[in-house]
Amino acid sequence: MKKLIALAAALNVAAAIFAADKPPLNVMDFGAKGDGVTKDTAAIQKALAACAENGGGTVSLPEGIFLTGSIILPANTTLQLAARASLLGSPDIADYPLENVRWEGEFRDGHRALISARNAANITITGGGIFGPPLPLGKLRSPRGPVLIELTGCTNTVLENFTTQYQQLWSIHPLFCKNFTARNLTIRTVNANGDGIDVDSCSGVLIERCDINTGDDAIALKSGRGLAAQNLDRPTENVIIRDCRLQSSIYAGLAVGTEMSGGIRNVKVQNCVISGRQNAIFIKSRDGRGGFMENISGENLTVLKSPTFIGIDLMKKGIQATDPVPGDLEKWSRVQNLSFKNIRVQDVAVLVEGADVPPARPVDGFTLADISGTCGRAISVANMTNVNFSALKVTGFTGALVKTENVHGTGLGEPAAK
């Protein structure tokens, strides 16, 4: 089996190298107008099909505004937008066919994304701007409207050097992907459900040097909700988020959960500036989720004006699943090894709000070290073991530095900074 996996990986690399050596195909040669009025869907898809028939390569969009409905990217393809090229989503819902999607943790009917790919290897989208269809499409929920980019079951995907703008719906949704990279992206959304990047049951994720300012979670880590997702056993794992600016005008800069029944593990957040309307970082679940969240760390973070630096609510967040995980103990998510070090906070109302933890499933392992800056209130936690607080150098707060209930560990009585 290992030899077969290695052979498949080698073939993927060889195909990507072969595709990269070919001259790009210009969509204008396939009938695209780029005038922002004529629908260029058929011309762009024709260029992508020609690229696939030739074994892969690059499809280029020159300067212009390319009005389009949903397009599908084939394997071994780079979609390259010129610096002043834009993909603009069509306002007609008929341009986004219905298919089976995972939306808010469960599979259901949804309109295909503006840019879509399934089970394809070696895809790159680079350059230019990608703009969503008008608000009525973004507001659709039953069935779900089209997101901007949705990649399902893809391997070795790179999204880089472009700008997106949308409202009231997710921008980028990788699902069941392996080796997913997002770098140098500028993502803007407004209104509830306007997430930036929703990483959903993916493995090997790198998000770096991105500037994300959204009306909902800037980055959300997910893996489905309910018993079906837990049994599917497709965690989001091995995630690195670094050198990013994450901001939310409604919810969290970084959300972990609530749709996490398949598990979330091995997440590192490094060298980021984060702020959120409710929480900079929110770790969340509820009964019926099951699953786990483990080995989640943050280091060298700057947290700007936010109600809470870290919110932990494992009891009542999120929509109940159609098939909740049963059992008095098993229904609760297992959370362990949370670690945040070298953190600078500025004008944060609450440093840590972590009292909503089920007594039946205490958090096992929570480290805070070298935390400095200003906050209105400090730390409130409940139902935790193996807690380690050290070098808590925050100032400006009222009340106790650390307020605990059924918490065991070290540094819980550390004096406030002077």
Residue 158: inside a domain: no
**Nearest alpha-carbon partner for 308 in 339, 280, 272:** 280
Residue 343: inside a domain: yes
What gap in Å lies between CA 76 and CA 55, rounded to an integer?
Answer: 7
Each residue of 269-296: b (16+ CB within 10 Å) or e?
Answer: bbbbbbbbbbbbbbbbbbbbbbbbbbbb
Q: What is the pTM of this model?
A: 0.94
**Nearest alpha-carbon partner for 35 in 72, 86, 1, 75:** 86
Residue 130: inside a domain: no
In the predicted structure, residue 56 carries a pLDDT above the cut 80: yes
What gap in Å lies between CA 43 and CA 28, rounded to an integer?
Answer: 8
Residue 4: its pLDDT value, please?
Answer: 42
Residue 341: its pLDDT value, please?
Answer: 98
Q: Is 76 helix (H, G, I), strand (E, B) or coil?
A: coil
Rama region for 47: left / alpha / beta (φ>0; ψ in -120 to 50; rest) = alpha
Phi then psi for residue 231, to 5 deg, are: -70, -30
Arithmetic mean of pLDDT, 382-404:
96
Number of domains forming the structure of the chain: 1
Over residues 23-44, the pLDDT tens digits come to 999 999 999 999 999 999 999 9
Q: What is the DSSP string of 126-193?
A: ESSEEEPPPHHHHT-BTTB---SEEEES-EEEEEES-EEEEESS-SEEEES-EEEEEES-EEEEESTT
In the predicted structure, residue 353 carries a pLDDT above the cut 60: yes
Residue 85: inside a domain: no
In the predicted structure, residue 201 carries a pLDDT above the cut 90: yes
On the question of a cis peptide bond just before residue 38, with omega within 30 degrees of 0, the verdict is no
Residue 81: inside a domain: no
In the predicted structure, residue 417 carries a pLDDT above the cut 50: no
In the predicted structure, residue 9 carries a pLDDT above the cut 70: no
223 contacts 258 by C-beta, under 8 angstroms = no
224 contacts 232 by C-beta, under 8 angstroms = yes
Residue 113: inside a domain: no
Tokens of 154: 């893809």
CATH at 324: 2.160.20.10
By percentage, how much of the chain surpasses pLDDT 70? 94
Q: Binning pLDDT at 50, 70 and 90, where does residue 264 land?
A: very high
124 contacts 155 by C-beta, under 8 angstroms = no
What gap in Å lies between CA 333 and CA 79, rounded to an integer?
Answer: 40
Q: How far is CA 134 from the centre of its chain?
A: 23
Non-local CB neighbours of 85 within 8 Å, separated by 6+ positions: 34, 61, 62, 63, 64, 65, 66, 127, 128, 129
Arithmetic mean of pLDDT, 136-141:
90
Residue 4: inside a domain: no
In the predicted structure, residue 7 carries a pLDDT above the cut 70: no
Residue 371: its pLDDT value, please?
Answer: 98
Phi then psi for residue 195, to 5 deg, are: -65, 155
Determine the length of the chain.
418
Residue 278: inside a domain: yes
Q: Binning pLDDT at 50, 70 and 90, where does residue 416 land?
A: very low
Amino acid at 221: L
Residue 226: which domain range?
195-410
**Nearest alpha-carbon partner for 337 in 319, 362, 360, 358:** 362
What gap in Å lies between CA 196 and CA 248, rounded to an integer?
Answer: 9
Over residues 75-121, the pLDDT tens digits come to 999 999 999 999 999 999 999 999 999 999 999 999 999 999 999 99
Arithmetic mean of pLDDT, 322-342:
98
Q: Binning pLDDT at 50, 70 and 90, where does residue 159 land?
A: very high
